[in-house]
Amino acid sequence: MFRKIAKFIKLVLFGLLLVLGLILIYDRFFSSKNIAIVHNNQNVKSIEILLTDNNVAINNIDTSRMDTDMCKRKIEGADGVIFAGGNDFDPEIYGGDRSLVEEYSREDDDKSLAILDYTIGLKKPILGICRGMQLINIYYGGSLYDDIGKQFSTQIVHRGSDKALSYHEIDLSEGSILSKILHSDRIEVNSYHHEGIKDLAEGLSVSATSDDGLIEAIENPYYPYMLGVQWHPELSYENNKYSKKIFKDFVKNSNAGRN
């Protein structure tokens, strides 16, 4: 009797180990989620690499090469959407000064706003990076500084000379979603932008600010999942625990399903 019980226990343990092994293999080699990256002919390789490392299938949406309807169809199949960095916006959209901006395309801006509107209509989880964060603010009625150094402050360098990355610290807003994700109240971030949020759109909340008072991160507390950061966490993902936390939290919450 004892031998039969022992044999049964061994079979049960073997079965449990087999199931666990199959789960690990599936998680390692088979994508369980699909994340769309919306950009305008930008280099998003860093985002693609980190999503692959997180076992996520990538849906690359280049708005400069696809019409709006095609972009929308690709959004429908995504579990979450990243609006990546890119060119400036046409200041006419929010009442700014065209003489202060660099490369922009009004056609692409309008397309990006339409895609964001469609994404919001589907309630897909959203992460905005740099231009993506600014896009969210403009969509809800906010405005931008066309040139931070000329219109706001030179206290902090938000983009290095020759358009190089710079670095500075930011304060996370107490009680914000971002502070809960990162479990910190102050972190260092990279910086690569000359535009920034001027008037925050109604309904959005400030998640972080730099020491000069510029808004560095935003969130929408009335939406299932919407976070925007001004820096580029994808560029520091490999060696920065906070960058890892941002993307891992986004992937974890990208579970809206495919409509």
Establish how many alpha carbons lie within 13 A of residue 255's alpha carbon, considering only the half-sphere containing its beta carbon.
4
Contact 31, 55 (CB under 8 A): yes
Active-site residue among 195, 216, 219, 234?
234
Angle between helices 106-121 and 131-139 (to 10 degrees): 70
- Residue 132 tokens read as 């993506």
Would you state the structure tokens that stand for residue 186, as one six-digit string? Answer: 């102050």
190 secondary structure, DSSP code? E
Helical residues (DSSP H) of the chain, grouped into ranges? 2-29, 45-53, 68-76, 106-121, 131-139, 148-151, 177-182, 241-253
Based on the residue annotation, tell me whether 238 is a catalytic residue of this protein: no
- Strand duo 166-172 + 205-210: pairing: antiparallel
Q: Is the dihedral of CA 25, 30, 35, 36 positive or negative?
A: positive
Of 39, 130, 168, 195, which residue is the catalytic one?
A: 130
Q: Rounded CA gap, 137 and 142, in Å?
A: 5
pLDDT at 19: 52
What pTM was computed for the model?
0.88
CA distance 201 to 134: 10
A 10 A CB-CB count for 195 gives 26
Question: How confident is the model at residue 18, as a pLDDT?
Answer: 62
130 is catalytic: yes
- What domains does the chain contain, in order, with CATH numbers? 31-253 (3.40.50.880)
Give 216's contacts (C-beta < 8 A, 6+ positions apart): 170, 189, 207, 208, 209, 210, 229, 230, 231
Q: What is the pLDDT of residue 3?
A: 66
Residue 216 known to be catalytic: no
Q: What are phi and psi of 217, to 5 degrees?
A: -160, 145
> Chunked in runs of 10, what are the mean pLDDT values of the chain (259 residues)?
66 64 46 90 96 94 96 96 97 97 96 98 98 98 97 96 93 98 98 97 98 98 98 97 98 71
Could you give the CA distance from residue 244 to residue 72 in angstroms, rounded to a whole number? Answer: 28
Contact (Cβ atoms closer than 8 angstroms) between residue 136 and residue 223: no
